[in-house]
Copies of this chain bind each other. A is one copy, B any other.
Amino acid sequence: MPLVVQKYGGTSVGDAERIATVARRVVETRKAGNDVIVVVSAMGQTTDELIQLATTISSQPGGREMDMLLTAGERISMALLAMAIKDMGVEAASLTGSQAGILTDSSHGEAKITAIRGDRVRQYLDEGLVVIVAGFQGVDPESRDVTTLGRGGSDTTAVALAAVLGADVCEIYTDVDGVFTADPRVVGTARKLDEVSYEDMLELAGAGTGVLMARSVEFARRYGIPLHVRSSFHNGVGTWIKEKAMEETVITGIAQDTSAAKVTVQGVPDQPGIAAGLFGALAAEDVDVDMIVQNVSTEGHTDISFTVAKEHLDKAKSAAEAIMPELGAVGLDVDPEIAKVSLVGAGMRNHPGVAADMFKVLAERDINISMISTSAIRVSCVIDSGRSDEAVRALHDYYLPAEANA
């Protein structure tokens, strides 16, 4: 019997009525002759509400107890979904991450899955049950403590279960219709992609396309699990993410990300060890650095700019300030008003002019580029956040014009 893994996010199980809708879809899938594993997130805003409650109680909530707290959220949604499915005459059972054998390391709040003991899930499937698994959570087998997987954790749970249990497809249900060539709220002519390669999807996710986290795409790629990103509100086909998209377009999509801030350390001596000292200090504070640009040296001194997630900005700033004397830097500048705009497409490997065209499109609109980073299949520019939507529209018109779709 084919095995389907379905993942439903918090919006899809936001209230009793939506849980019933999800239950109907699960029952249909089961009755169509599939084994079904369902991975669920916590209902709607539950996780945010629990975090809020914790911050009123503790000045430094986090770690073990925060994970214990947050995992209550999926417990509620999965039990309710199991009840709804059983009420429709299909046998179902819910399992916590721990019960489903999802083993992780001990990094509370951002644990990595180290192994999955799939025997209990397999046994339930063999008994004919729909198995509902709590997303976002696991257990550290050393301490036997409950852990959470951090942002996008439920997607990771779904893809990892699909990999270990050899699913035929992992369906990611969401409140959008699939992956688009650009954010349709920004670009009116943006269109849904029928297929995206893992490789392009990884770059799109890394560049700010919010549908999927890079982490779960990477997991799917490694184990060759086809992902189907689709709407939980209707039955239409969404976007398939697979080894190789059928036809390789030059540009697959345009992503933007306004969640980062830029930090510039000014006037550091242009000598070996400076970058190592700075980024070592940032890493020691667990600051994730995305782009790094070092200006050309003027009279033996240079500026180093980097971007970090806005929520890491305070940590980054104090870590950089602390090490400035040691580096011999003369100043520190912070700019939270930035946007990263990225072109993604595996086809650009064979089209060397892509980056130059991108700079030209932006220049024609007088949009200043403050940082550039590239990979083999992506070009990203950091610009002023106020010009971000305009830049994305201009790039979409140039690389993915509406008439090409007609």
**Interface set of A (CB-CB < 8 Å, partner B):** 16, 19-20, 50, 53-54, 56-61, 64-66, 68-69, 71-73, 75-76, 78-80, 82-84, 86-87, 92-94, 96, 99, 120, 144
Contacts and interface: CB of A to CB of B under 8 A. Distances in A.
Contact of A87 (B58, B72, B86, B87): B58
B99 A57 contact: no
A79 B86 contact: no
Given A79-B66, A120-B144, A16 B53 contact: yes
Nearest to A58: B83
B54 A68 contact: no
A87 B16 contact: no
Contacts of A54: 79-80, 83
A134 to B, nearest CB: 9
Given A87-B59, A144-B120, A50 B66 contact: no
Nearest to A19: B57
A109 to B, nearest CB: 13
A52 to B, nearest CB: 10
A142 B72 CA distance: 23
A71 B92 CA distance: 18
A80 B53 contact: yes
A128 to B, nearest CB: 16
B53 A66 contact: no
A122 to B, nearest CB: 14
A95 to B, nearest CB: 9
